[in-house]
Amino acid sequence: MEGLIGVAVSGVVAAIQPLPLALISLGVIIGIVVGALPGLSSLTAMAVLIPITFGMEPANAVFFFMGIIIGGQFGNSLPAVLIGTPGTPASIMSAVEGYEFQKRGEGGKALGLSLVSSTFGQLLSGIGFVLLVIPLADFSVRFLFPEIFALSVLGLTTAATLTGRSPVKGIVAAAFGIALTTIGPDPVTSRPRFSFGYLELEVGLDVVSMIVGILVVSELIHASRQSFSWPEGQRATGRILPTLSELKKASGPMGLGTVIGFFIGALPGAGASVAHFVAYGQAKLFSRHPERFGKGSMEGFVAADAANNASSGGELTPTLGLGIPGGPGMVLVLVVLLIHGITPGPGLLQSAPGVLEAAVGGLLVGTVAMFVFGYLSIRPAVYLFSVSRPAVYVGALVISLIGIYSLRSSSFDVYVSLIAGTVGYFMRRYGYPVAPTALALILGGLIEENLRRGLVMTYGSFAVFFTRPAVVVILALAGIVLLQPAVTSYLRKRRRTAAPRRAP
């Protein structure tokens, strides 16, 4: 426990120093502004700003990106409430309930509730992160190649089955990402594979270029084709912060959403999109007034927002504790750390304690900054929607591609990113989730490398993957996660067919 308190205190002390505090504040402001623009998210801002982190210390880069992530999650609530347009999939239910407040002339009240529930979820998830990540990191030091292989498989199967509407399409998307990781040098022999005579492919596809293309470029193309407009909003009227009576009513749903958001966020690939839907559903299940949901329910609204924000602490736990990205935004955090020569996962506390402290401090201090800047942004936020949407998208695309080129001064990487973005757009269009593909680009190499190194360790015997207790448990969980959608679907169909027979 002393170690946990020490990391938290050191992280907060480091975060309130002038430069880290400025980076956190700047990140929060950028996150709020970008998150307030429909179709854009903190992911877009992070991808565009990756080159800026090259000259930073690793801890400062983490401070900066944590600010962007935290600010972006609240920023997404602004268009959701004011014009009924979710900034990201993780704010869909916020738009459903929040826009009803706006139509009643209570937009300011809704944004105040969003700010309080977001702050509540972030702070508690930060505490949960501190309590779990260090024991997890200490325990994971004992992991060898077979355990890391099993964890990577679990993370990928979770992402494949929990994202998107069709688990089968999620699995196909993940398999596509794994296939892309086989291009380039063999992880054991270093011999080039699938280069097709191109020198650029002999070193493999650049992971950052692929991820920016799959996630960001595809989203920009997708969003530019949406038909929604950005009407000039009306100024949020009335008081903003909720009363003590309203806080008392909202405390239960906020607590429920926070717990759900944190633990679902800790599942690699699940993230805020899944967490806020689950929290909303559970809040409706336990509510005394479920009939109000969908009509401006305070319970559903705060539960979804708290889960959305609490997921960030959960996502950080596997990202830093196990080296498995907890969500798309954490993929870019992982990329930045890898660029700086830091490998999250087993031994992080020993090899780079400053990074862990920066994550804790950035999460806690960033939450306070989000409350301050979020409160100040509520009234003027509506004017952002007069910005030209095409100009925003074109500017974001150009800056993203400039960032890609600056990584290796390679025009080939730019072409790769554009092609990946086009492929990602068609994946979105035909219902294939892009998150499993992005995670597979990170985890695919880990899966192959640790599988083969595990076989080398045992002279080609697969027995090590079925005799080590931790490996067996983790692979069993992966199997359950993989089969759960099919079993659930079967049981649901069985109940439907059995119901008419029991009817009188």
Q: What is the pLDDT of residues 308-327, one digit of tens each?
A: 888 888 888 778 877 777 77
Domains in the chain: boundaries: 2-494
Residue 374 to residue 358: CA distance in whole angstroms: 22
CA distances for 380 relative to 222, 275, 276, 376, 476, angstroms: 28, 29, 27, 8, 51
460, 200 contact by CB (below 8 A): no
Residue 504 to residue 490: CA distance in whole angstroms: 24
How much is the mean pLDDT over the chain?
78
Residue 295 is classified by DSSP as S
169 or 161, which is more confident: 169
The pLDDT score that the predictor gives to residue 231 is 44
Confidence grade of residue 225 (pLDDT, cut at 50, 70, 90): confident
For every residue of 16-58, DSSP letters joined together read: TSHHHHHHHHHHHHHHHHHHTSTT--HHHHHHHHGGGGGGS-H
Residue 164 to residue 89: CA distance in whole angstroms: 11
Q: Which two tokens stand for residue 148?
A: 């890391």
The answer to whether residue 369 scores a pLDDT higher than 90 is yes
The pLDDT score that the predictor gives to residue 230 is 44
Top mean pLDDT of 197-201, 264-268, 296-300, 415-419 is at 415-419
Over residues 414-430, mean pLDDT: 90
The answer to whether residue 236 scores a pLDDT higher than 50 is no
- How does pLDDT run across 67-121, given as a tens digit for each residue? 998 998 888 888 778 766 666 667 767 777 887 787 777 777 888 888 999 899 8
Reported as type and span, the H/E element at residue 199 is helix 199-202
Query: What angle, rounded to 10 degrees, do the helices at 58-75 and 18-35 form?
Result: 30
- b/e per residue 6-33 (b: at least 16 CB within 10 A): ebbebbbebbeeeebbebbbbbbbbbbb
The answer to whether residue 270 scores a pLDDT higher than 70 is no
Residue 238 to residue 118: CA distance in whole angstroms: 20
Residue 163 is classified by DSSP as S
The pLDDT score that the predictor gives to residue 422 is 92
- How does pLDDT run across 12-28, given as a tens digit for each residue? 898 899 999 999 999 99
Count CB atoms within 10 A of the CB of residue 411.
12
Over residues 225-235, mean pLDDT: 50
Q: Give Cα 334 to chain centroid, integer Å.
A: 12
For every residue of 325-394, DSSP letters joined together read: -SSHHHHHHHHHHHHTT---STTHHHH-HHHHHHHHHHHHHHHHHHHHHHHHHTTGGGGGGGS-HHHHHH
- How does pLDDT run across 112-157, given as a tens digit for each residue? 888 999 899 888 988 888 887 666 655 555 667 777 788 778 767 7
For every residue of 101-151, DSSP letters joined together read: HHHTT-HHHHHHHHHHHHHHHHHHHHHHHHHHHHHHHHHHTT--HHHHHHH
Residue 244 to residue 120: CA distance in whole angstroms: 15
332, 47 contact by CB (below 8 A): yes
The answer to whether residue 224 scores a pLDDT higher than 90 is no
Confidence grade of residue 340 (pLDDT, cut at 50, 70, 90): confident
44, 396 contact by CB (below 8 A): yes
428, 159 contact by CB (below 8 A): no
Confidence grade of residue 419 (pLDDT, cut at 50, 70, 90): very high
Residue 229 is classified by DSSP as -
The pLDDT score that the predictor gives to residue 235 is 46
Residue 9 to residue 6: CA distance in whole angstroms: 5
The pLDDT score that the predictor gives to residue 50 is 83
User: What is the distance between the terminal CA atoms of the chain, rounded to a whole angstrom?
Assistant: 61
Confidence grade of residue 368 (pLDDT, cut at 50, 70, 90): very high
Q: Return the sign of the alpha-carbon dihedral for residues 383, 388, 393, 396.
A: negative
The pLDDT score that the predictor gives to residue 389 is 61
